[in-house]
């Protein structure tokens, strides 16, 4: 007698939950689908009709074209900018992780004078606004002739990324059982061997989560790339090239959508390939 209303109440709650999740996902994915469809449409079709009209007859071949991508990649330099973005993003992700891993291990398991002071100073750098450091660093780069070079922007992204990386890795490494580290030390393992053979494999979810954050931030960065690399085609990143394309070809939607989808494809692949580590890494150290 009382179980039937409870059953329908649970069914209604589950349906409402799933319906809400589906609606949010649909609204979130819809602009990306429109961007992708528009990037394959001829210019005249984009101007005269909405992108959703292709679903009236989705198998009609003449309503799709690859010419937009060919023009964007070859004629407007987005192919070179794509390679430049990879050249900037990959080292700027690997270097902070490498440096932060050594620093986090030292702060967590090594005793040396001023450890707490240095750790506090490193973590305090997280709250420093990025814009405050641009002009002083740029002046130093001009003196040292590092502006407009990939080495210069690697160092900038490394400096801005290390505090957060140290914080995340320290939160994970410091929660590992002390018995593991002590047993490895008693077996004669050095600090370097303990870090590379024991600590890093156990910290892989946290490392992957920071790699996602760092890579996506660098890939989508415009301000730092514009300040320290400039707009020269030989070093301009994809975001800088897209901003130039918006300024010069702002009325050509077919080119803008193709360029935007080229810039979106890599972050999506990185996120989906590392998503199984993402949540585990964010929660690392929060629960013993």
DSSP 8-state symbol, 188: T
Q: So what's the pLDDT on residue 174?
A: 86
Give me 219's structure tokens: 């890939």
pLDDT digits (tens, 9 = 90+) for 15-46: 888 888 889 988 888 888 888 888 888 888 88
Other C-beta atoms lying within 10 Å of the C-beta of residue 283: 14
Q: So what's the pLDDT on residue 99?
A: 93
Mean of pLDDT values over 154-178: 89
CB 261 within 8 Å of CB 36: yes
Query: Could you tell me the residue ranges of all domains in the chain?
Result: 3-65, 75-285
181 or 92, greater pLDDT? 92
For the cut 80, the answer to whether the pLDDT of residue 258 exceeds it is yes
CB 173 within 8 Å of CB 104: yes
pTM: predicted TM-score of the whole model, two decimal places? 0.81
Q: Which residues of 169-205 are buried (b: 16+ CB within 10 A; e: fewer)?
A: bbbbbeebeeeebeebeeeebebeebbeebbbeebeb
For the cut 90, the answer to whether the pLDDT of residue 253 exceeds it is no
2: three-class secondary structure by DSSP: coil
User: Which single residue is written with the structure tokens 């450890």?
Assistant: 115
Q: So what's the pLDDT on residue 250?
A: 60
For residue 45, give Cα distances in angstroms to 37, 71, 260, 261.
11, 17, 18, 18
Q: What is the chain's mean pLDDT, rounded?
A: 84
pLDDT bracket for residue 157 (50, 70, 90): very high
- From the options 1.10.3720.10, 3.30.70.100, 3.40.50.2000, 3.40.50.300, give the CATH code of 75-285: 1.10.3720.10
Phi/psi region, residue 285 (left: phi>0; alpha: psi -120 to 50; beta: rest), is left
Instruction: Give 192-203 as a DSSP string.
Output: HHHIIIIIHHHT
Mean of pLDDT values over 83-90: 93
Mean of pLDDT values over 193-222: 88
Neighbouring residues of 268: CB distance < 8 A, sequence distance ≥ 6: none
């Amino acid at each position: 007698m009382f179980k039937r209303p409870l059953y329908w109440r649970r069914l209604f709650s589950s349906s409402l939950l799933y319906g809400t999740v589906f609606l949010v996902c649909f609204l979130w994915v819809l602009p990306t689908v429109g961007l992708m469809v528009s990037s394959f449409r001829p210019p005249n079709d984009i101007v005269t009709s909405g992108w959703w009209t292709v679903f009236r007859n989705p198998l009609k071949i003449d309503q799709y074209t690859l010419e937009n991508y060919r023009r964007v990649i070859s004629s407007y330099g987005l192919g070179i900018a794509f390679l430049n973005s990879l050249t900037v993003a990959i080292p700027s992700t690997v270097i902070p992780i490498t440096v932060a891993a050594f620093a986090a291990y030292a702060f967590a398991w090594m005793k040396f004078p001023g450890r707490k002071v240095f750790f506090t100073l490193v973590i305090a750098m997280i709250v420093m606004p990025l814009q405050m450091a641009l002009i002083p660093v740029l002046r130093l780069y001009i003196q040292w002739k590092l502006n407009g070079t990939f080495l210069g922007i690697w160092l900038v992204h490394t400096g801005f990324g290390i505090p957060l990386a140290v914080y995340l890795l320290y939160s994970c490494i410091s929660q590992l059982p002390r018995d593991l580290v002590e047993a490895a030390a008693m077996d004669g393992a050095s600090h370097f061997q303990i870090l590379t053979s024991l600590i890093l494999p156990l910290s892989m979810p946290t490392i992957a989560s920071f790699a996602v954050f760092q890579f996506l931030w660098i890939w989508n960065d415009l301000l730092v790339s514009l300040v320290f690399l400039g707009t020269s085609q030989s070093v301009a990143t994809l975001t800088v090239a897209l901003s130039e394309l918006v300024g010069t070809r702002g009325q050509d939607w077919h080119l803008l959508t193709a360029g935007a989808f080229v810039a979106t494809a890599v972050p999506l692949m990185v996120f989906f390939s590392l998503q199984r580590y993402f949540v585990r890494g964010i929660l690392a150290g929060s629960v013993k």
